[in-house]
Amino acid sequence: MEPLSVGRRSRLTTMTATVARVALVLLLAACAAGANPDVGSAPPGQEAPAGFWLGLWHGIILPISVVVSFFTDTVSPYEVYNNGNWYDFGFVFGISLVFGGPLSARRAHRH
């Protein structure tokens, strides 16, 4: 069997890289979250959906909530009955407060 020519090997490498990129894009697209039909609606027994402040609190207690959620079905780390982007912003901001966020790099500077 003859070895591949340089031009043919280059085309094969380019085609393999293209197929790998397309597969990666499809894999990542399959992981995208769908729409939440409960956004903007209040949970049963509550007057209003979760907002920024509750999102902030849920972000801060996320490490504990995740561990507890492994052992019970009544605890969830994320409130699906929320008001949308403000809850999400508070949630992510709360997580960044716990895990350092952009300020952690500032503390790790060299002397």
- Say if CB 74 and CB 43 are below 8 A apart: no
> Are residues 27 and 53 located together in one domain of the fold?
no
H helices of the chain, in order, are: 6-30, 52-60, 62-69, 85-99, 103-107
pLDDT confidence bin for 100, thresholds 50/70/90: confident
Two tokens, residue 71: 């052992």
- Say if CB 86 and CB 52 are below 8 A apart: yes
To which residue do tokens 């597969």 refer?
A: 23
Work out how many domains the chain is built from and give that number: 2
> Are residues 7 and 26 located together in one domain of the fold?
yes
> Are residues 11 and 48 located together in one domain of the fold?
no
> Are residues 43 and 82 located together in one domain of the fold?
yes
> Are residues 45 and 90 located together in one domain of the fold?
yes
Write out pLDDT tens, residues 40-88.
Answer: 778 787 888 889 999 999 999 999 999 999 998 888 888 888 888 999 9
> Are residues 64 and 78 located together in one domain of the fold?
yes
> Are residues 55 and 101 located together in one domain of the fold?
yes
- The reported pTM is 0.61
Is residue 31 within a helix (H) or strand (E), and if so which, with residue range? Answer: none
Domain of 67? 35-107
